[in-house]
Amino acid sequence: MIKVDDQKCCYCAGCVPTCPENSIFLWDTRLTIDETCITCNLCVIFCPVSALSIAEDEKKIA
Amino acid sequence: MKYDYDVIVVGAGPAGSIAAKTTAEAGLKTILLEKRQEIGTPVRCAEATGTRQEIGKFIPIDDSWINADIAAGRFISPSGHEMYKNAGHVGIMLERKIFDRALAEQAGDFGSEIQCRAAVVGLTENGVKVSSFGNEYEITGRYIIASDGVESQVARFAGIKNTMKLKDIHSCIQYLVRDIEIDEECIDIYVGNKVSPGGYVWVFPKGKRMANVGLGICTNKSKNKNAKAYLDEFMEKHFPKGKIVGMVLGAVPGSSYVKQLVKDNILFIGDAARQVNPLTGGGIFFALEAGRISGEVIAEAHRKGDNSILQNYQTIWDKEYGKLFSMYYKMRKLFLSMNDDEFDFLVQEVNKVASKYDGGTNFNKQIPEILWKAFTKNPKFMLKAGLSMFK
Ligand SMILES: Cc1cc2nc3c(=O)[nH]c(=O)nc-3n(C[C@H](O)[C@H](O)[C@H](O)COP(=O)(O)OP(=O)(O)OC[C@H]3O[C@@H](n4cnc5c(N)ncnc54)[C@H](O)[C@@H]3O)c2cc1C
Ligand code: SF4
Ligand code: SF4
Structural domains in chain A, CATH included, are 2-61 (3.30.70.20)
Give the closest residue to B107 by CA, choosing from B285, B291, B289.
Answer: B291
> Residue B80 belongs to a domain with what CATH number?
3.30.9.10
B42 and B158, same domain (yes or no): yes
Domain that holds residue B215: 69-92+165-253
Report cis status (omega within 30 of 0) of the bond before B42.
yes
8 Å CB contact between B62 and B145: no
B148 and B288, same domain (yes or no): yes
> How big is the A-B interface in CB pairs under 8 Å?
82
B260 and B318, same domain (yes or no): yes
The count of domains in chain B is 3
Say yes or no: CB of residue A26 within 6 Å of ligand 3. no
Residue B58 covered by a domain: no
Question: pTM, whole model, 2 decimals?
Answer: 0.95
The protein residue with its alpha carbon nearest to ligand 3, atom 6, reads A43
Residue B270 covered by a domain: yes
Atom number in ligand 1 closest to CA B271: 26
B383 and B294, same domain (yes or no): no
B139 and B108, same domain (yes or no): yes
B314 and B236, same domain (yes or no): no
B309 and B285, same domain (yes or no): yes
Strands (E), chain B: 5-10, 30-33, 48-49, 66-76, 82-94, 113-115, 119-124, 127-132, 135-146, 169-178, 186-190, 201-205, 210-217, 243-253, 262-263, 266-268
B286 and B207, same domain (yes or no): no
Ligand 2 site residues, Cβ closer than 6 angstroms: A 4, 9-15, 31, 47, 49, 51-52; B 249
B170 and B229, same domain (yes or no): yes
Distance CA B257, CA B352 (A): 32
How high is the ipTM of this complex? 0.94
Residue B132 covered by a domain: yes
Residue B274 covered by a domain: yes
Q: What is the DSSP string of B128-159?
A: EEEEETTEEEEEEEEEEEE---TT--HHHHTT
Q: How does pLDDT run along chain B (391 residues), one tens digit per residue? A: 899 999 999 999 999 999 999 999 999 999 999 999 999 999 999 999 999 999 999 999 999 999 999 999 999 999 999 988 888 888 999 999 999 999 999 999 999 999 999 999 999 999 999 999 999 999 999 999 999 999 999 999 999 989 999 999 999 999 999 999 999 999 999 999 999 999 999 999 999 999 999 999 999 999 789 999 999 999 999 999 999 999 999 999 999 999 999 999 999 999 999 999 999 999 999 999 999 999 999 999 999 999 999 999 999 999 999 999 998 998 899 889 899 998 998 888 877 777 776 655 555 666 677 777 777 777 666 666 666 555 5
Dist. CA A27 → ligand 2 center (Å): 12
Torsion of Cα atoms, B58 then B118 then B127 then B4, to 10°: -80
Residue B110 covered by a domain: yes
Give the closest residue to A49 by CA, choosing from B219, B162, B153.
Answer: B219
Give the closest residue to B215 by CA, choosing from B204, B231, B238, B226.
Answer: B231
